[in-house]
Structure 1
């Protein structure tokens, strides 16, 4: 399994604020890799930089062997990299099915019916609500819709930004069950999550960010068992 994504020495600024400080990590094909850390640690900024929404002053981001530095952000999706943004951001006025169809725009509609069928199999709740306007869905259903929409683009890497945010515990469990199912079906996943316990429980490997720097890395199991991580993030 080779590295599908390599992030090397990225430094990102918001004006004079140095938000990401020399971050490097990689994601191998078939893995779930998680970035954990407190609010403001730089997790979402890292994902937005990989997606091309922000730019690093240094270093490189290589995806499937191609340097993304010069690729415009709207073309990055067609390379096979899909981001489910924090806060879901579904098209609230559109139906469930219309939202999913929007996710397929990079595919040119060639496999639309088969892709819809596949997403409805993975998310039966969405099939039941296919004609419903997305703004009337619950938070958990909107999260499923955002994930389903990203899958419509046939991603080689699915990036999830805080998928459990604002959801009731039972829904958090459902979302993480779905993440594991997607992984079993062969999807490579980069997961940013404040719920460190849930994230490390499903991850092959994890990186801990503090104030814009990677401070620790290890397997999901190693980090779950680490006394320092337990104390800082798991309430142990």
Structure 2
């Protein structure tokens, strides 16, 4: 069991892609840090059934980040139940990897829709709830692939690089008029999730050999970075990309 702290006391949070992997670790960490409510959202919340009941301050929300009507309904619900939003964590994302010559247009479109357009739509829907108090923290999960590229991931790299560019623009835009709404990114490296667990051991060994700290990261490593950027401990940080990659990209 993770150790509770109080960095999220009285804060209202939304996490997308929350059912498993990074999203689960982030949701649990924010809840244990004292959040009043964490709305844990995912297009398929079934994987969360074995853990989410352990937290009285987490609410499961089935949600497609590309569904305008669902986003509007979520915004309305949060407004009715909480009257504001303090933290938005844009974590939902997918991969459809292929070399460029074999990548289909549908694979390109789907990755850009979920990973980039989905974050745009989610943030646009949640921003008015932060503007009610002129403060808040938006943390979007990018990737080192978004800063340095990777073979066979043209669509993924474009989407993750786009998140970084959007975030930098938002960091300037959302403080207009004196508001304190911050926007930052986290760029994970190779993290021990279901995706990497499916990679053959021989390939994993080669991946680890490229990392100065000689190991995959854990979901909790990313969750701790999110907690920092979501909390008031980072109140003077905005428009930044925090790489959590064991030194993979230096």
TM-score normalised according to structure 2 size: 0.35
Larger fraction in strand: 1
- Structure with the bigger RCO (C-alpha within 8 Å, sep 6+) is 1
Higher helix proportion (structure 1 or 2) = 2
